[in-house]
A and B are shown apart, each in its own frame.
Chain A
Amino acid sequence: MTNQYKIFPLGDAAVTLDMGNTISETLNQKALAMQQWLLAHPFEGLKDCLVAYSSLTLLYNPVIIKKYYKPADTVFAWVADLLQEAFDKALSTPTASRDVIRIPVCYEEPYAPDLAALAREKQLTTGEVIHLHTAPVYNVYMIGFLPGFSYMGEVHERIAMPRKQYPAPVNAGSVGIAGSQTGIYPLNSPGGWQIVGQTPLRLFEPFAPEPVKLQAGDRVQFYAISKNEFMEYIQRL
């Protein structure tokens, strides 16, 4: 467990506790544990709490905190103290024991516009890329960018590939690779990730009781489905 962290203001209404510029399951679990601790010990004026790879950010309303708690020093110092307490008290629970969420992905055309190029670049067959992409259980490190966009990792180094230089239109459900990360676009959006497949599942449904299906800390494994199976899924949903 790390004891290295830095708390810094993200403006005058937000604060970040950062444990290092790195993608690590241990640090991510610590951030998740702190989030849980804070959601169990909320304070007046807390607006939002979000986990990223190795950090936790709180968004707060300084006016409300000032009114309720009358901190002697700055509101930031007061929130920073609380974050420190969260760091000290929150115990990480390994997410490895969680059930694996299995997600069907069609790796065939037209759902995988960048798969062939990625395979060529990496001197692999598309079958090998699919095998490498479906083999591991991925950790969902964070949700960001778009409602429900999941940042997962890490992909096998043989299929890790940088983002495209220019973003292109991406369909909802597209599964992409960016560096060692993999993720699913929940909405139609411009995007720069290399699209290797598409899931028929809807990962963001604004009016469902749980609009976002994946959360930080979830464990995910992809499995390949055919174009026909993809169409069957779509019809069933």
Chain B
Amino acid sequence: MALLQISEPGLSAAPHQHRLAVGIDLGTTNSLVATVRSGSAACLPDDDGRTLLPSVVHYGADQTVTVGHAAQKRQNQDPANTVVSVKRFMGRGLTDVADAATPYRFVDEPGMLKLSTAAGIKSPVEVSADILRALRTRAEQSLGGELVGAVITVPAYFDDAQRQATKDAARLAGLNVLRLLNEPTAAAIAYGLDNASEGTYVVYDLGGGTFDVSILELTRGVFEVRATSGDSQLGGDDFDHRLYCWILEAAGLSQLNDKDARLLLTKARQAKEALTEHASTQITAKLSDDSVIDVELTAEIFQQITDHLVQKTVTPVRRALRDARLTADDIKGVVLVGGATRMPHVRRAVAQLFGKPPLTNLDPDKVVALGAAMQANVLAGNKGDDDWLLLDVIPLSLGLETMGGLVEKVIPRNSTIPTARAQEFTTFKDGQTAMAIHVLQGERELVTDCRSLARFELRGIPAMVAGAARIRVTFQVDADGLLSVSAQEQSSGVQASIVVKPSYGLSDDEIGRMLSDSMAHAGDDLEARKLAEARVESESIVNATLAALEQDGDLLNADERQAVDTALAAAQAANAGSNANLIRTAAEALNQASGDFAARRMDRAVSRGLAGHKVSDF
């Protein structure tokens, strides 16, 4: 009798069985789901044949949740309960979005902000999960089975908190996350595989709310990200808003009510889109007071009023080229991604920047979802003949706070992931038994200028003299770009480990500011660093002197004691100020004033050490 065969759980039962996996582009404005069927990737449409799902969720008082086009229709009547652009709130605290003009009732929560809706309090993770759930349902109905997993795309410039929030949303929607994939990298996969390209390519990704630029090297089935940069507060929305302001000016209007403002923002977006095909467009609108707006917008004017926004994408491009040690001449092609790259003057600016017309043969709205689907297909184990390897990087440096409010970089930006780096730190004071570990993200040298990701404490360090303990802190960044940190005292083995689950992420403002400031204030940083270092050095001498006086003060006569006390007071006074040179001089003077004292203490310590021992003991 033939025995029934049962495969091991988790292993694919039959190699020929296609495992259903999807790629999801969870966008600020629109989201898509795509899959690979019979060897080619395609976006899955809804019942009406539309592939784009507006990233809009409406919450009704009767607990109904509406997603997409239907929710979008509620936007004008019920703005407070219709959540748009929720991606901007992922991993953010209330202070991060305080200046954003939104109709929502925010709830300040420790960690991520929440939104109060007719259907109750919702976190951005829950709202995103509702969007993802709609896409999952669409995929399962269309593919006729349960999904084994999904690849979810995130902006390359997303930090740890934003990535973690995205992964949590996917889990909440019942999706098994095969990988978080950077959007420009997903686009490169779709483009590279479609065109069998080799060489160094730039992906210029201007979406609804974020700008990413990645430089990739494509060689025989390997996609290697050389560098990535971006501006997480720049997107198509900013062009709409600039145009909205121009309409107000042109029509001689000042303040508008919420409803009119929303109407004109919509008109602004439509006008922007019309200019993709036409040299000019007429903007007409009837406001709530029955007044009529009727202005003409030419492509030339639109280019003029938004040129500064286009120019803002140039700096991240230059920075990425510099980090990759390349020039524009080394770039074989530029792939455009994101709906905002449809604007003709954006295309012209990119062409000028790289001296060649950008590649636009893939739909900029769909290319990210298509690439994600291809990656999902491979990760799910549906290996075809064409197999590829993806090597991505982290966008921002990770570091630790050290004495004096300085950041010690542990993993520099653009390191290939997965990566781990260990760094040793030591105690600052004699007998110190605990140490606070503060994890930061950013490029600046001072803690206050970087984003705080997490804090934890390492306790139970054996009491030793300052500088004797060896604390090894290890950062591990996985293939999703998510960080975990562990710390261990080397001699005793005391260990502490956490997965960094930051209570809040970098704000859009902060993340953009951090990089540009880091460059603009390189000089300031240097001064601040000198000052902080001088203070640490001096405080250590002051502390050592105080401890010595307490223990062996009797070794000094009154005059000698006076001299040391004077130098001590001078050093302490200098430390309170912010003149690095003065601090250094005073510390040096204290060091000299206590030189004899130190020598005498040494003699005493030696004689104490020898007392009670016989020569034969040594």
Tell me whether A and B are bound partners.
no
Residues on A lying within 8 angstroms of B by beta carbon are none
Residues on B lying within 8 angstroms of A by beta carbon are none
